[in-house]
């Protein structure tokens, strides 16, 4: 068990971060170079002013028309995404490990209680998304097995983290699984649908540019 812990808390951390970073850079680079090669008009019509307005409207709940029409989905999506971003970066345990590890840097941490709530928000969000996939016909129709795998990849580090924090199950095992699942999620980001974290800015920004700069109308 200790060997497993040493592996996931040592070399695998570096491997995961490296794959995440290099993969993300590759993803963005291939997106931009591919666009330049065959879809150059995306740059021609790009308008930062409209793109930024659109990002704001779609990242704040109830600012877009569709967000207002889907209040439960809006709240769950917003909380889940907020948790996914905040918990890994601002949890005390993570900051301490990184400070003691190679970074040597630290930053302000969320109170443990808040980080715990945020983690549960992610878990609840993923359960809600899974429920939609199983129950709503319009979502079920376009859902495949891989969509559930993605949800599992996301929920795993938050669930194991919460379990480790609350001391549920064997602590060493939970911590090790938590680290492993976090690493899997990092690696998965550039290569799966989780890459929407990177491509959102492109698709949303281009649509906003077309709607705003050419068609003189909002895209929200």
- Residues near other proteins (CB under 8 A): 30-31, 34-35, 37-39, 41-42, 44-45, 54, 58, 64-66, 69-70, 73, 77, 132-133, 136-144, 147, 193, 195-196, 199-200, 202-204, 206-208, 210-211, 214-220
CA dist., res. 106 & res. 118, Å (int): 20
3-state helix, strand, coil in the chain (%, to 5): 80, 0, 20
| DSSP per-residue letters across 156-177 | HHHHHHHHHHHT-S-HHHHHHH
H or E segment to which residue 105 belongs = none
Q: Which is nearer to other proteins, 9 or 143 (CB)?
A: 143
Q: Which is nearer to other proteins, 36 or 166 (CB)?
A: 36
Q: Which is nearer to other proteins, 137 or 167 (CB)?
A: 137
Distance of closest approach, residue 19 Cβ to other proteins, in angstroms? 18
Distance of closest approach, residue 18 Cβ to other proteins, in angstroms? 22
Q: Which is nearer to other proteins, 109 or 130 (CB)?
A: 130
CA dist., res. 206 & res. 42, Å (int): 6
How many degrees, rounded to 5, is the angle at CA 155 between CA 181 and CA 125? 160
CA dist., res. 195 & res. 49, Å (int): 24
Distance of closest approach, residue 193 Cβ to other proteins, in angstroms? 6
Q: Which is nearer to other proteins, 66 or 106 (CB)?
A: 66
Distance of closest approach, residue 207 Cβ to other proteins, in angstroms? 3
Q: Report CA 74 to chain centroid distance, whole Å.
A: 16
> Token pair for residue 203?
């698709």
Distance of closest approach, residue 199 Cβ to other proteins, in angstroms? 5
Distance of closest approach, residue 90 Cβ to other proteins, in angstroms? 24
Q: What is the CA radius of gyration of the chain?
A: 19
Q: Which is nearer to other proteins, 94 or 193 (CB)?
A: 193
H or E segment to which residue 207 belongs = helix 196-209
């Amino acid at each position: 068990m200790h060997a497993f812990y040493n592996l996931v808390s040592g070399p695998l951390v570096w491997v995961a971060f490296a794959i995440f970073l290099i993969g993300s850079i590759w993803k963005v680079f291939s997106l931009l170079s591919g666009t330049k090669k065959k879809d150059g008009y995306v740059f021609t019509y790009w308008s930062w002013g409209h793109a930024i307005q659109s990002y704001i409207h779609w990242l704040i709940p109830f600012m877009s028309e569709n967000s207002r029409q889907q209040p439960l989905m809006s709240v769950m999506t917003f909380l889940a995404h907020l948790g996914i971003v905040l918990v890994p970066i601002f949890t005390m345990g993570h900051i301490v490990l990184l400070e003691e590890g190679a970074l040597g840097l630290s930053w302000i941490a969320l109170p443990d209680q808040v980080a715990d709530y945020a983690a549960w928000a992610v878990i609840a969000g993923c359960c809600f998304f899974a429920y939609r996939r199983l129950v709503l016909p319009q979502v079920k129709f376009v859902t495949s097995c891989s969509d559930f795998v993605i949800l599992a990849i996301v929920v795993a580090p938050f669930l194991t983290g919460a379990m480790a924090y609350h001391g549920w199950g064997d602590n060493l095992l939970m911590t090790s699984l938590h680290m492993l699942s976090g690493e899997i999620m990092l690696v998965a980001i550039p290569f799966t649908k989780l890459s929407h974290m990177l491509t959102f800015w492109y698709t949303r920004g281009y649509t906003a540019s077309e709607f705003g700069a050419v068609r003189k109308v909002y895209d929200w």
